[in-house]
Structures are given as C-alpha cells and as structure tokens.
A and B are shown apart, each in its own frame.
Chain A
Amino acid sequence: MNEYVLRTRGLTKRYKNQLALDSVDLAIRQGAIYGFIGQNGAGKSTLMKLVTGLAFQTSGTIELFGETGEKELIRSRKRMGVAIETPALYPSMTARENLEAHRLQRGIPGKDCIARTLELVGLEGTGRKTARNFSLGMKQRLALGVALLGDPEFLILDEPTNGLDPMGVVEMRELLQKLNRERGITILISSHILSELDLVATYYGIIHRGKLLEQMTAKELREKCRHYLHIKVDEPQRAAAVFERELATSEYEVMADGVIRLYAHLENPARVSRALVESGLEVEQFMPTGEDLESYFTARIGGGKHV
C-alpha cells in the first residue's frame, strides 16, 4: 500500500504570462484530511484541476496512488471523488437522476448505492425537485453525494462549505470526519473558512502566488500557533522557580534571549503577574501571545487579505 495518495514534484502550470503554479511539491498521506489554504488565485483550484486531469501541467509530475504514467493516472482517477468549484450537476435532473447518471458512467452495479448516498448527504426527501431548484447548500450536498458514489478512496473538495448555512457547515464537517474515520477516505479540502478547516484538517498546506509555502501536520500547526504568556523578567531562572513553587506548573520554556513562554494559567494572567511581583521580580514584558490558523496564515503569506 502506498504511504502517499497524492504526490506532486515540481508541478508547474503557466497560463501565457502568468505562473499559476510554481514548482509545487505536495504530499498527501493516506488517511489524511489535508486542508489546502490560499487566497483567491493562489493556485488551489489549478492544482486540483491538474490532479483531476482537467488541465495539463507545464512541467513536473503527479503521482496518484503511486502511479505516474498517463494511462495509469487516468485509471487511478477511478479511485477518486471530485467536487471542484461550482457544484457540477445536471440542472434539469432530480438528485436521484443526477446520481443515476453518474452511477451508469462509473459502471457501479445495483441502484442501492443511490438511496444510501442520498441519505448520507441528507437529500433523501427531495423527490421530483430538480437540481435547478435546489438551494446552493443542497447543490453542494448533492455534488458531495456524486463525488462519494462508488466509494472513492480519495476525495478532492474545493470549497465544499460554500453556500451552506451554519448547521450545514457543521453537518458537512461531521460527515467528512465520519468518512475519514470510518471508511479511511483521504480528503483534500480547500476552504475559505479557515476556522472550519481548523476543526477538520489533520494536515495543512499553505499556497501563495502559486508556491507551496509550507506543509505541516495539525500537531505542528498547533505547536506553531500555541498560545502562551510572553514574559520577560530580570531573573528568568528565579521566575522559573516561582512558576514551579507558586503556580505548581512546569509548562514553560525559557528562551535563549531570557524570554519565558508560560503555557499554563492563560485564563488567569493576573495570578501569574502577582506571583512574580510578590517574589520581588521586575517584570519588563508581560503579554498573552499566540495565533490561530487564520492569523498564522495571514502572517505566513505576509499579511495578505481576502483569504
């Protein structure tokens, strides 16, 4: 079994004078929920289009399920489910008919999968209503249903929560987590709602102006975004002893420049400062610090807007 579902090496896409992807080396491990983050036009959809065969790379290679040859890549795409950009549906067909057209195309035997899929995405009661008359949220769910038909091992979802109401967003997140947990489906998901990605992704990739700036696990991101009290005192070693003795915590780090990062008692900084002052220490700097995914992303791309 391949460790990686998808790997790209030096993947580059140029549109006339514009470099949409610049030598991207991306790797998605089996079983990961890979949150793909980038501004509009950063290259997220372009990469997804190259992987799904909708567009052709200028240079570089794509490896899907360990396969790199042209024919093998096409065959590997049978193991994928895809929903890129707008929900791709036949507007004059019902939800059931949309799924049936896709079932026939994929050659999936039996019609049981249609009812199961409709139930899974919560569209079992839509009856004769055609996709044209669906809300954007319903269309998103149906597009996910289409992508799930045939039990894919790898899902590629571009902004799947667009148009969903808050409950829909929660349901989508829970569904993706369930699919990942119970069926072991690897998911590549891009979203503008970074707080939402924060709750679901196990890996992250940050792309900016066609370059993949960083890839990391959720744990690594949490480390990077970890909240702490930034403290600078005249005697760091004595302050450390105060933390151990007065606050009963060893969750701190003394940095080379003498700054202390205290990861405990974040909810009660007044107690910390009081303990330091009452111990006769001179507090030069004292501030809560740390980032969430959004601020980390913003900082990483250099304070950009329009995420």
Chain B
Amino acid sequence: MSNLIRSEWYKLTRNRSFWLILAALFLSAVVYCFMTYLDDPSDGGALDATSGLDMLRSAMGGNTYIIKIGLCVLAGFFVSSEYSTGTMKRAVSSGYSRSRIIVAKMLVFIGGSVLVALVFPVLCLAIGSLLFGGGSLPDVSAAEYVIRCLGLTVTLSAGFAAIVALIAVIFNDSGKTIGIGIIFFFFIDGVFVMIGNHLPFVLKIYEYSLLNEINHYADTAMASRDAVLSAVIPVATAIVFVALGVYAFRRKEIK
C-alpha cells in the first residue's frame, strides 16, 4: 500500500493541472488581497476588509467554489485521465488488488484536494494580516476561528474530494468528470431543497450533509456541537464515498 501511495504522490506532484490550479489560486489570493487593500469602500469601492481575519472570512466564502469546481478539474486530470492515457491498465495489472489501487489513488487525491482548498484562505489570511494586521472578531478568539476555519476546510474538502473522486472513478473521461461534477454541485442543493419541500426527511438529510455544512463553515459564531458535526459529517462522507469508489472500481472493466 505504501508503494502505491508513494507512486500516486509522485504522480500528483508531477501533474501539471495540480500545479496550475495551485498557481492560479496563489495568484488569485495575491490579486484579491491587493485589490482589497487598494479599494476604498468610502469612495464607492465594493471590497471591504480591515484585517487578516476579515480577509480569511471573505476568502472562505469564495473557497466554496474552489472546493467544488477546482476539485472537479483536479479529479478530471488526476483520476479520470488515468483511463484515457491507459495508465490505469498498468496499475491494475501490476499485482496489487483493485481495492488498494483505488484507495491509494483516492487518498492521495483527497490529500491534494485539501492542499488546493487551503491555499486561497491561508494566503488571504497571511497577506491580509501583513497588509492590514491580524485583527479580531467579536464572537470568537482569532486563534480559535483560524484553527476552526482551516480545520473545517480540511475536512470539508476531503469530503467533497471523495465525492468527486467517485464521479471520476465511474466516468472514465476527464471532460465527463469535470462537466458532471460541476453540474452535480451546481444543482444538488436545489434538488435537495425542492424534494425536501415535499419530503421533510430529505431536507433533514440535507441539513446534516456536507452540502449544507459548507454554507456555514466560516460562521464566526458556531456552537461546539455544530463545530463537531461540521468535522464529523465530512469525514464520514469521505469514508462512505471512498468505500463506494472501491465498490465501483472492483466491478469496473478497464478498457
């Protein structure tokens, strides 16, 4: 298993899409921070932040799109592309069980996804703190908020990555994975709410899903029970979807 993980990590660190996404996020964070710094709300500007913590809170909002869309792109080029290049054949015929092969792939993808999800908020916090100073929040200590935000970013991105990885395992094609992943995340909240209006238990499921959790993960005021749920739900989701990925991959014929 460790050989597979080392190999997958090696491939991830040589994946151009991974570095391109990281570079784009780095650049976006720098530009966003300096735009905010240079923008003057009292003179008609729209960007309003006065501290590093403000920048983090603001970045967390935008990061939901990075988690949903960015990870679909990464999954397309890191997981699905293995089918189109034929390298999945190499892996499957290499003498490891399919379960191990796909678990290693999904774990490394989740790891890479967590890195991708952390770049924007961490940089916004760091650059914002340099430009404006660290700052403080009324409901929560700065340290607690930062740790909670980044911690939930880790767990939520892991959960979302597992969902996207399953889509990538099922659809052998980068384009399909990216397209279907984005469409899925674009509509799924609405679908849950719409069905939930008729079937209340569906709404309850949605409330306790990571799809809903990500809407609240940057709240300054969060009860400890909610914080625990926000951490546990994504981790449980990740475990379930990795298991589904294993199930799907074990039954899949590699063409």
Residues of A bordering B, CB below 8 Å: 49, 52-56, 71, 74-80, 82, 84-93, 97, 100-102, 104-107, 146
Residues of B bordering A, CB below 8 Å: 3-4, 6-7, 10-11, 14-16, 85-98, 253-255
Q: In the assembled complex, how far is the CB of residue A67 from the closest CB belonging to chain B, in whole angstroms?
A: 12
Please list 6 pairs of residues, one from A and one from B, whose beta carbons are closer than 8 Å in the complex, sorted by A's number.
Answer: A52-B93, A86-B86, A88-B88, A88-B89, A102-B7, A104-B3
By a CB distance below 8 angstroms, the chain B residues around A77 are 93-95
In contact, B14 and A90 (Cβ under 8 angstroms): yes
Complex CA gap A100/B96 in Å reads 18
By a CB distance below 8 angstroms, the chain A residues around B96 are 74, 105
Known A-B contacts A77-B95, A100-B10, A104-B10; A91 and B253 likewise in contact (beta carbons under 8 Å): no
Complex CA gap A90/B7 in Å reads 12
By a CB distance below 8 angstroms, the chain A residues around B86 are 84-89
Complex CA gap A76/B7 in Å reads 20
By a CB distance below 8 angstroms, the chain B residues around A101 are 7, 10-11, 14
By a CB distance below 8 angstroms, the chain B residues around A93 are 14
In contact, A105 and B3 (Cβ under 8 angstroms): yes
Known A-B contacts A54-B254, A88-B86; A80 and B93 likewise in contact (beta carbons under 8 Å): yes
> Smallest CB-CB separation from B17: which chain A residue?
A92
Known A-B contacts A78-B95, A84-B89, A85-B86; A106 and B3 likewise in contact (beta carbons under 8 Å): yes
Closest 6 CB pairs of A and B: A78-B95, A88-B86, A105-B7, A52-B93, A107-B3, A104-B7
Known A-B contacts A56-B253, A91-B85, A92-B15; A102 and B90 likewise in contact (beta carbons under 8 Å): yes
Find B92's partner among A52, A75, A91, A107 (CB 8 Å cutoff). A52
Q: In the assembled complex, how far is the CB of residue A40 from the closest CB belonging to chain B, in whole angstroms?
A: 16
By a CB distance below 8 angstroms, the chain B residues around A55 are 253-254
Q: In the assembled complex, how far is the CB of residue A129 from the closest CB belonging to chain B, in whole angstroms?
A: 15
Q: In the assembled complex, how far is the CB of residue B173 from the closest CB belonging to chain A, in whole angstroms?
A: 15
Complex CA gap A84/B90 in Å reads 9
In contact, B93 and A82 (Cβ under 8 angstroms): yes
Known A-B contacts A88-B87, A104-B7; A49 and B254 likewise in contact (beta carbons under 8 Å): yes
By a CB distance below 8 angstroms, the chain B residues around A107 are 3
Q: In the assembled complex, how far is the CB of residue A133 from the closest CB belonging to chain B, in whole angstroms?
A: 14
Known A-B contacts A107-B3, A146-B90; A88 and B85 likewise in contact (beta carbons under 8 Å): yes
In contact, A76 and B254 (Cβ under 8 angstroms): no
By a CB distance below 8 angstroms, the chain B residues around A74 are 95-97
In contact, A88 and B6 (Cβ under 8 angstroms): no
Q: In the assembled complex, how far is the CB of residue B208 from the closest CB belonging to chain A, in whole angstroms?
A: 37
Interface centre among B3, B15, B88 (most CB of A within 10 A): B3
In contact, B93 and A90 (Cβ under 8 angstroms): no
By a CB distance below 8 angstroms, the chain B residues around A87 are 86
Q: In the assembled complex, how far is the CB of residue A104 from the closest CB belonging to chain B, in whole angstroms?
A: 4
Complex CA gap A89/B90 in Å reads 9
> Smallest CB-CB separation from B104: which chain A residue?
A105
Q: In the assembled complex, how far is the CB of residue A109 from the closest CB belonging to chain B, in whole angstroms?
A: 11
Complex CA gap A231/B86 in Å reads 54
In contact, B87 and A54 (Cβ under 8 angstroms): no
Interface centre among B3, B85, B90, B254 (most CB of A within 10 A): B90
Q: In the assembled complex, how far is the CB of residue B249 from the closest CB belonging to chain A, in whole angstroms?
A: 12
Complex CA gap A80/B91 in Å reads 12
In contact, B4 and A105 (Cβ under 8 angstroms): yes
By a CB distance below 8 angstroms, the chain A residues around B6 are 104-105
Complex CA gap A232/B96 in Å reads 62
By a CB distance below 8 angstroms, the chain A residues around B14 are 90, 92-93, 97, 101
Q: In the assembled complex, how far is the CB of residue B15 from the closest CB belonging to chain A, in whole angstroms?
A: 7
| Supplied contacts A80-B93, A97-B14, A105-B4, 19 more A-B pairs, CB within 8 Å | A49-B253, A53-B93, A54-B253, A71-B97, A74-B96, A77-B94, A78-B94, A82-B89, A82-B90, A84-B86, A89-B86, A90-B11, A90-B87, A91-B85, A92-B14, A92-B16, A104-B6, A106-B94, A107-B3
